[in-house]
Amino acid sequence: MSLTLPGILVDSAWLQANLAAPELLLLDATVELPAPRFDGDYRSSSGYAGWLQAHIPGARHADLLTELADTDASFSFALPTPERLLKALAALGLNDEKRLVIYDRAEGFWAARLWWMLRSVGVDAAVLDGGFKAWQRLQDVGCPVRTIAPCPMPLGAQSTPYWVDRTHVEAVVAGHTPGTLICALGTALFDGSAPSRYARRGHIPGSQNLPARTLFDEQGHYLPKDALVQVLDAYLHDDTPLILYCGGGISAAANALALTLLGRQHIAIYDGSLQEWAADARLPMTTGAPPA
């Protein structure tokens, strides 16, 4: 095998240099999810039409709404069974000879989501740092090569589940199961001061707020590792399980990727996130600033 992924993140210069490699499988994981105009305004659609209009040469569209999701679940983007996920990936061209790179045409959250899905079933992959926008900038003006160190944790070494369900989160909220709940949504969505596309405003009680967008620079690249350490320092010094969520388990995946880059283990994503939690009036939610 002549093509080797340099780490969790690859840059546009590396991709350009390896674009013609027969071992490369490039996937566009974009989903369209407009900002809510009012409470409960949930609109999602496939990114396929956008992929038809523009994509990196050779990229295939990976549909997180249908082929790569459990469409029978009560919430969008639900994790499919490993068998269904692997079958869908095989249909996209994945096999033992391929090296997989994922990107999206948005803020990088969709690519991170698919990366975490693959990681949970033992499939190695990398994310294009900065996504399609970074690729376009490279074609226009060029960009320097950035060195991205490999993941310090071997694939499959995580001792806790990659995913948790609502019952597990309820146990954490009740204090019956250890865990730190972290919401990846923006501050205004977390504290309930902005309209939410979900059934209720606010966050799961006891949650801390770590907006995923704070992990990126102005051009959409993940921050350098020393800057990521500053942002994520509070979560790097013990082994308490981290339970990450957002609206649909998408932005949370960017947090999971960044924490993994820094070697943090014991990370799980609540797959249903607020789309499932907020829809059940029996489950508690709260508004306001995170606990001190």
SS3 letters for 21-86?
Answer: CCCEEEEECCEECCCCCCCCCCCCEECHHHHHHCCCCCCEECCCCCCCCCCCCCCCCCCCCHHHHH
Higher pLDDT, 178 or 290: 178
pLDDT higher than threshold 80 for residue 157: no
Q: What is the Cα–Cα distance from 130 to 106, expressed in whole angstroms?
A: 9
pLDDT higher than threshold 90 for residue 290: no
Residue 162 near residue 45 (C-beta atoms within 8 A): no
pTM for this entry: 0.88
**Average pLDDT score over the chain:** 90
Q: Which residues contact 260 (CB under 8 A, 6 or more apart)?
A: 8, 119, 151, 153, 267
What residue ranges define each of the domains in the chain, with the CATH number in brackets?
9-141 (3.40.250.10), 163-277 (3.40.250.10)
Of the pLDDT bands very low, low, confident and very high (cuts 50, 70, 90), residue 292 is low
How many distinct helices (H) and strands (E) make up the chain? Answer: 10, 12
Q: What percent of the chain has pLDDT over 90?
A: 79
- Residue 171, Cα to own-chain centre: how many angstroms? 24
Of the pLDDT bands very low, low, confident and very high (cuts 50, 70, 90), residue 148 is very low
Q: Which residues contact 126 (CB under 8 A, 6 or more apart)?
A: 5, 6, 7, 8, 9, 10, 99, 100, 101, 102, 115
Of the pLDDT bands very low, low, confident and very high (cuts 50, 70, 90), residue 42 is confident
